[in-house]
Structures are given as structure tokens and as C-alpha cells.
Structure 1
Amino acid sequence: MDGGIGNRGFRVTPRSDRHDDADFGTAYTYKASLIGAAQQFELGDDGLIWRIGPKAGVWPYATIAKVRLSYRPVSMQSRRYRADLQDVSGGRLRIVSTTWQTVALMAPQDQAYRSFMIELHRRMRDAGSRAELIGGLPPAVHTGALVLIALVAAALTGLLARAVAVGSWSGALFLAGFALLFGWQIGGFIRRNRPRRYTFDDVPKDLLP
């Protein structure tokens, strides 16, 4: 991930991984990988303060050019959301609602992530930001996912029809169950990630925990 622009003369103070009551909603920390450094973010008076490993900086709220919110589940965590930020110089930051704790545990941070994102949007609005606010996947990616789902659905329908025709009821039952599970999981992903624009006062609820 691109850490973005430099510190622009601001002094960034390292923060711990723990959010106390005073910081809740204005500070957020997560680990993108088990062995990587924690990524720390804080909503300061001057802008969004970030620290990723040895890199650190401040993005004034008015210089944040784009925010994309999306729902990004993975095999180990179905409740995973992501915000991709870009500033006017092309720097990029990624903030995810889950954090790695152990080899087998990716823990959700639903309330902390939601509060932080809502407060970030509020401060950007108050700073007069003209950022592009986007929800969901890029249109081309979303369309490709719809085409893939249609192909899988057609294949499952053909297999189910064949199973019924030859009297393989156990196979038909299995395929029907698989189709329902597939539709429930993938359908939710597609529905939440439909491409859209939103405003500072109407942040999509389905793209936040």
C-alpha cells in the first residue's frame, strides 16, 4: 500500500494499539497482516494523522480527494469493511474494519471502525471538502461479478435438472442447498457493493459495520 505524502511539517506522536474512551471515534488502529506493523490513524485538528511503520504524515481534511467505502469479506472474517482514501497528490491510504490478532484469528472492530469513519466524514464536511464519495465496487468489477454469478447459476441449474432427471434426489438436494448458500453469500456481497455516489450526510449504512 502506498503510504501517501510526507508529514508536511506536522509532528506525529506514536499511539498505542488500544483506544481509550477519550480517543474513541477519533483514533483507529489495525494490523493488515500478522507480522506487519500496526497502522495507526487519528483525527486531529489539522487533518487525518497516519502512521504506518516508519512512515507518518498528516492529510488536511480539505485535501482528501476521494473516499471509497466497500464491503470486503474474506474466508476468515465475513464482517470486513474497507475504506480507500486518496489525497490530491495521489497518495493512498487503506483502512480496514478487522485486525489480525493470531495466526487463526482476524478480529472485527465494528464499533471503533464505524465511529471513526462517521467522524472522518463529519470533519471533512466541516472543512469544506469537495472529495468524491463513492460506495461499492468499480462499475466494471461489479458487472464482471454479476456475469460470473450468472454463469455459475446457469451451471448449477443444469446440474440440478440433470440430477432430477436421473432420480438422484440426494444430489439434487445437495445442489439446491449449495445454490441457496451461494446465493445468500454472494448476493449479499453484490447488493452491498453496488456502485453509487453518496454525500457526507448520508454515508451508506450497508457499507459500515
Structure 2
Amino acid sequence: MQQRPEEGGGPVVSYAYKASLIGSAHAFELTDAGLSWRIAGQSGVWSYTEISAVKLSYRPVSMQQQRFRADVDNVKGGRIAILSTTWQTATLMAPQGQLYRDFIVELHRRMRAAGSNAVLTAGLGPKTYTAALALLAVLAVSMAGLLLRALLTAEWTGALFLVGFAALFAWQVGGFVTRNRPRRYSFDGLPDALLPRAGRNQAQ
């Protein structure tokens, strides 16, 4: 997050990321007039009271586990996405943890100061979350059955593999499901699990 003075007003807070290697960066600024954005040759300014909803979520990918996303909607049906990572090369997706966190926190602060009535939600949608839980339950039952069979037939190597796979699966997928529990939050209580850790801009 960068700041520069705005003529006749308060500081302008900026943030940018590249969603792909092709094309320009998605650029955002918090100004006295509102949230200014420039995406794929288009631009606009949404006043803070015009923002109707903000949704925070945790969206890891294979190249970057610590990846977060904010979806911002306005009253006219527009939506913009702000990601905590940026593409640098064909094989490198770099985190921008502290910059993203500071920008999102400041956006909420300015919205609150403007008297925003935006709906603030976190995590996955309820239906998607329920489906994810059901899938996890099926996989857990299947894994338990395979492990029991391996133990009964003294297949110790297979049993150890299943235990290790289950631990890795629980760590990665379990963390995704836990962080993305659907819920509402307030301007006073942003969900810390859906923001990068403070003070770091690298994977954690």
C-alpha cells in the first residue's frame, strides 16, 4: 500500500496487482471521492456509500498457498476483485500480504467513516460450503475404510502412506474449509483468518 497527498484533501492510498502475465496491472486508489479503480482499460470511482457489499475469502492456489481475495460490489451491480498476490514471471506468483492487508483495512475504515451500510461477509457461500463439508465427509469415510483394511491385512507401508496423506490433506483442505466458514462481520471486527498476517509480504 502506498500513500500520496491528494490535492485539497487527505492522503491517497493505492494498491495494484497483476492478475496474469498478459495485460496491465489492476490498480486501485482510496481517495476522498471513493474507491478508484483501473482494470483492463476501464476505470471508475465508487463512493464509499455506493459500495453495497464486501466479501473476504481465502483462495490458495498451487503456486501460492497464502492467497486472499476481496470481492467488492456496488449498488449498480458492478463487482471488482482485489487479490493479495501478483504475477511476476511465468513461474512466480508473488505475495503482497502486508500491502493487501493495509489496503483492505483502510478501505473498511473509510467506508465506516462515510456511514456505509454495506453487507460484510466472509468465506464461501452457504451452499458451496455445505457441499464442501459433504465431500470432506465422504472422503474421510473412504480414507478410514482404506486405513482399516490396511491394518487388518498388515499392510503397514500402505497404512503409513494413508496416515501421511490424511495428515497433509487435513492440513491443506481443512485449513481452507475452516478459514472460509460463511459468516457476517462488522467494520470493528474484520476476520483475521481471511487477511494475511501482519508484517509480512511473503508466504507464511
Equivalent residue for 1:148? 135
SS of match in other structure, 1:182? helix
Task: Show the 5 A alignment for 1:94-113.
Answer: 94-113=81-100
Residue 174 of structure 1: which of 161, 184, 190 is its match?
161
Identity of aligned residues (%): 59
Equivalent residue for 2:79? 92
Q: Does 1:75 align with 2:62?
A: yes
TM-aligned CA distance change 1:70 to 1:61, over 3 Å: same
Deviation at 1:201, TM superposition (A): 1.0
Amino acid at match of 1:60: S
**When the two structures are superposed, what TM-score results if normalisation uses the length of structure 1?**
0.88
Residue 136 of structure 1: which of 108, 117, 123 is its match?
123
Q: Does 1:162 align with 2:149?
A: yes
Measure the CA separation in 2 of the matches of 1:199 and 1:50: 24
Q: Does 1:114 align with 2:101?
A: yes
Deviation at 1:196, TM superposition (A): 0.5
Where do 5+ consecutive residues of structure 1 fail to align?
A: 1-18
Equivalent residue for 2:33? 46
Paired residues, number = 191
Amino acid at match of 2:119: E
**When the two structures are superposed, what TM-score results if normalisation uses the length of structure 2?**
0.90
Measure the CA separation in 1 of the matches of 2:72 and 2:23: 20
Residues 66 and 132, structure 1, Cα contact 8 Å, conserved in 2: yes
- Deviations for 1:65-115, whole angstroms, at most 9, x for unmatched residues? 000000000111000000001000000000000000001100000000000
Measure the CA separation in 2 of the matches of 1:171 and 1:98: 38
RMSD across aligned C-alpha pairs, in angstroms? Answer: 1.4
